Each structure stands twice: as structure tokens, then as C-alpha cells.
């Protein structure tokens, strides 16, 4: 079977993921997904893993510094020289991360961008540096979501912030997936979408369980003065 028809077979075998936040369960298990992407050529399997490494939280979490992640992103972009759509996708994801990192740094009290080349990536670094005090760094026209992200960070709305960022990343994948249906790029974008859907499903389930445990505990145990004064723990932040 030729690569073209093999990829058509692979793409048509992948169930529709639906819109983000619309399903409680992922329609394809991780095991099944891994089995199906083995239909990719060895080189495309390698490139898929490279893209996942730089875009998925589990991939970048193993690096100790921002500079390490930036070096990885540049290396992956170079590796994707024959796939400009995926190059643009990686750049967009890194620029989104940079904007979020800037919002968090400012919220944590950083008075200016500092050496942004050490932690920032992409075309908006200079804009962030010169417009540090602007709520959206002067980028609201290019990143319509950034003003809302700033508001949510300032308000401590961590779950809402997670939802906003995942929705933006999902939209980016939709944008880069336009014009790709049965090729390598389409498969990569499907896998990246699957990772987000699976993560939100798991995160939502864990959060719901914790809330239920908290409610049950409150019902069974009368609150004490200490309990009343104790701050609620900050929800785990999981950012793309």
C-alpha cells in the first residue's frame, strides 16, 4: 500500500473528537491511538514525537529552564523544514506560552520583562518588552484572548484560565489544520487535539472528584475555627 493510501486509511480510522469541552470521555484510548499511528512512516513517527515533545506539557516539563525549551523549539522547527504548516504550529504554540509566561511574571510582581531573550520566543518579544505595563502588552489585536487571560490571572481564576488557554490552543490547531485532511500534517494535528481533549477530560474528572470529596468532608465533619480560616488550596495548574 502506498504512503498516500495508508495515510488516508489512518485518517479515516480516527474517530471524530468533537469540540473541546463537549465530551466527558475521549472517543479513542491512548493504546488504540498509539497502535494506529504506527501506520506512519518511521521518519514521520519520529517527527510526530518531536512535535509532541515541544508542544505537550509532559514533554517540556522535563526541562529545568526556559532556555532549554526554547532551544528544543528551534531544533524541532529546523527538523520540520519540509512541513511549514507544522513549523508555524510550533511557533504559534511557543508564542502563546511566551504571552502567558509574561502575564504570570507581571502578576508575580516583575516590574519589567528583564532579559526576555532568556525566557521568551517569537515575534512578540520586543512588543512585550516595550509594552510591559499595558494589560495585554499591546497585543490584543493579534491575541484577542490575552486581555481575558490577564483578568483571569489577576482574579486567581485558575480553572477558567486553563479552559481559556486550552480553547485558544485548540483554535490554533483548527486554523493550521485547514487544507489538511489525509496527510501527515492532519495526523499530527489530530494527535495534538487528542492530547488536549484527553487532558481536559482527565483534569475535569480529577477536579470533580476532589470537589466531591471536599463536599462530603464538609457534610461529615463540622467546621472548626481553624478550618474556616484555612485558605483553599490553589488548583493544580496545567498549561499548554
Q: Cα–Cα distances in Å, from 30 out to 6, 193, 236?
A: 20, 13, 23
CB distance 16 to 194 below 8 Å: no
Q: What is the pLDDT of residue 99?
A: 97
Q: Is residue 223 over pLDDT 50?
A: no
Given a cut of 70, is residue 205 above it in pLDDT?
no
List Cα–Cα distances, 173 to 92, 168, 191, 237, in angstroms: 10, 9, 10, 21
Q: What is the pLDDT of residues 4-61, one digit of tens each?
A: 899 999 999 999 998 887 766 788 999 999 999 999 999 999 999 999 999 987 778 8
53-96 per-position pLDDT tens digit: 999 877 788 888 999 999 999 999 999 999 999 999 999 999 99
Q: Where are the alpha helices (H) located in the chain, listed in sequence order?
A: 3-13, 30-37, 42-55, 57-60, 66-79, 84-107, 125-130, 146-155, 158-177, 184-220, 225-229
Mean pLDDT of the chain: 86
Between 231 and 211, the more confident residue is: 211
pLDDT digits (tens, 9 = 90+) for 162-203: 899 999 999 999 999 999 999 999 999 999 999 999 888 877
Note whether 28 and 15 are within 8 A (CB). yes
Residues recorded for the chain: 240
How far apart CA 21 and CA 166 sit, in angstroms, is 10
Amino acid at each position: 500500500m502506498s504512503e498516500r493510501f495508508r495515510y488516508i486509511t489512518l485518517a479515516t480510522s480516527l474517530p471524530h473528537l468533537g469540540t473541546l469541552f463537549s465530551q466527558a470521555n475521549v472517543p479513542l484510548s491512548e493504546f488504540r491511538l498509539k497502535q494506529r499511528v504506527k501506520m506512519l512512516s518511521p521518519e514521520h513517527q519520529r517527527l510526530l514525537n518531536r512535535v509532541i515533545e515541544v508542544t505537550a506539557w509532559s514533554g517540556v516539563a522535563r526541562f529545568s529552564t526556559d532556555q532549554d525549551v526554547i532551544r528544543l523549539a528551534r531544533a524541532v522547527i529546523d527538523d520540520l523544514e519540509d512541513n511549514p504548516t507544522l513549523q508555524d504550529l510550533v511557533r504559534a504554540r511557543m508564542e502563546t506560552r511566551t504571552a502567558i509566561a509574561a502575564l504570570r511574571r507581571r502578576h508575580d510582581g516583575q516590574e519589567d520583562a528583564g532579559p526576555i531573550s532568556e525566557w521568551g520566543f517569537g515575534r512578540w518579544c520586543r512588543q512585550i518588552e516595550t509594552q510591559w505595563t499595558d494589560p495585554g502588552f499591546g497585543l490584543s489585536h493579534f491575541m484577542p484572548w490575552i486581555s481575558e487571560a490577564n483578568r483571569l490571572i489577576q482574579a486567581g481564576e485558575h480553572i477558567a484560565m486553563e479552559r481559556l488557554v486550552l480553547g485558544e490552543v485548540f483554535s490554533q490547531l483548527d486554523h493550521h489544520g485547514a487544507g489538511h485532511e489525509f496527510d501527515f500534517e492532519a495526523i499530527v494535528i489530530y494527535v495534538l487535539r487528542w492530547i488536549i481533549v484527553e487532558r481536559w477530560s482527565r483534569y475535569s474528572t480529577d477536579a470533580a472528584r476532589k470537589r466531591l470529596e471536599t463536599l462530603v468532608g464538609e457534610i461529615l465533619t463540622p467546621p472548626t475555627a481553624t478550618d474556616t480560616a484555612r485558605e483553599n488550596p490553589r488548583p493544580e495548574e496545567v498549561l499548554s
